[in-house]
Amino acid sequence: DKKAGSDSKKSSDQVDILQEVKQLLKEGANANLRNKEGYTVLQLAIRNRHNECLDTLIKDGKAKLDSRGPRGNTALHECCLLGYDGIEPLKILLKNGGDVSWTNDRKETVIDVAVKANCPDLMQIMASHHGQQLIDRQMKIYNDHSRTTIVDGHHSS
């Protein structure tokens, strides 16, 4: 019997993937290993919808976002291949430094793959991320400039 509201909790016989990943990393596991097909651990976590593990793999495991798997796809390409299921992992990867201009073996950028997936939400996330990057860059320029004061007719820091 399931109690109401217990759907989000794992049953006692299911493995807690995040805890397992944390333990393996603590024991020295390499988060940049590949399986026999050539997928990285990060790509497999995305393909198997284990979004809860992504931050841990990236931050604690130093998983490389730009590693190429089969057909040269990066983890970001893999997100876009999932369509709507790729929205959450894409947000996580962009937050951690992912670059939508990376290309695969077909010279397709992450944006190209998102367009082919026909998922406007993926495009919106990338547009918002790019817009935020531009704003952050301009704010840094503004803040750096505003710290400069004029003393005796000369700019000084």
Work out the mean pLDDT of the chain and round it to a whole number. Answer: 85
- For 106, phi then psi, to 5°, come to -90, 10
Could you tell me which residue, 23 or 138, shows the higher pLDDT? Answer: 23
Specify if 11 maps to a domain: no
The residue segments making up the domain with residue 64 are 17-146
> Which has the closest alpha carbon to 76: 51, 96, 93, 52?
93
Look at the chain and report how many structural domains it folds into. Answer: 1
For a pLDDT cut of 90, what percent of the chain falls above it? 64
Does any domain span residue 154?
no
Determine contact, residues 100/111, Cβ cutoff 8 Å.
yes
pLDDT band with cut points at 50, 70 and 90 for residue 150: low
Tell me the per-residue pLDDT of 92-131, one tens digit each, with 9 for 90 and over.
Answer: 999 999 998 899 999 999 999 999 999 899 999 998 888 8
What CATH number should be reported for the domain holding residue 70? 1.25.40.20
